[in-house]
Chains A and B, each alone.
Chain A
């Protein structure tokens, strides 16, 4: 895909609509394939945040769930959460 890289460079890093469509489809399909609707996803996020909060100090609102297709056959669900540590500046 060297040629596409060169083209991308020449166009000032602007992604073609083809690339944009690919990215959007990957996200949309990853979500569709889980069969989870927005409300269920929200509910799961809240429950996961509650569990994490039992053990470490976190900002429950900052817990983020990402569903992404990593290959043709597998879709990954990633949970990320910033943790407040004892020596972090924020209290």
Chain B
């Protein structure tokens, strides 16, 4: 029996879909069977971020309505073994599916795949409730900005009320801005939200480029964000992995080695 993980944030545009694609690709690269589920009914995007938009025939709502089998709607990513996508519908509305139907669907997927990664729509309405219905765990994605953190806190509260264990990804951190005092640090965000950190992803131009091309950064190569997502994937799988500090200077490294300063 696999594990279902919902990726959510409350606020839109903080990197839910990008995180879903990259975590999924990283888990598949590490040898696990993964199906990504786009739960954003009416505003599908995971397919284009994955570069699989031309391969869609059937979608989630077709499966729910019995128009096709689950196997027929799931697309296999040909670039890598063990990676699959269940696309969303672009024409239906959020209420075309119920929480019970989602739970049933996710439970079925868990029988065939090790990881079911669900990309949640923005907001905390029906679409959110549908997306979390079958989830065993949740990942809240937040950027180090007031609006994103406020929404993340609200979502974390709802997930706690639903008894879903929740961890945090802090996305788009700029070490230079944190150092200047113009951005909340990873530790600031952890402290404010009081959530366990799953990973910190640096701001990385490569993410924009990889999305343009429809190739998740973790499939493409070794950019800083890709490395961060690979660590996230290993932690999801239960491994204990140290953070890589991209921007720790030479002297700080020496200081840390001889025990002069604590970790940032």
Contacts and interface: CB of A to CB of B under 8 A. Distances in A.
A25 interface: yes
Contact of A7 (B150, B178, B181, B182): B181
Interface centre among B145, B181, B182, B194 (most CB of A within 10 A): B181
A16 B188 CA distance: 14
Nearest to B152: A29
A78 interface: no
B160 to A, nearest CB: 11
A6 interface: no
Given A16-B182, A18-B188, A32 B146 contact: no
Interface residues of B, number: 18
Interface residues of A, number: 16
Given A29-B153, A72-B194, A73-B194, A21 B181 contact: no
Nearest to B192: A25
B156 to A, nearest CB: 10
Interface string A26-37: 101100110000
B150 A21 contact: no
A25 B149 contact: yes
B184 interface: yes
Given A32-B153, A33-B157, A18 B178 contact: yes
Nearest to A11: B181
Interface in A14-62: 16-19, 21-22, 24-26, 28-29, 32-33
B181 A32 contact: no
Interface of A: 7, 16-19, 21-22, 24-26, 28-29, 32-33, 72-73
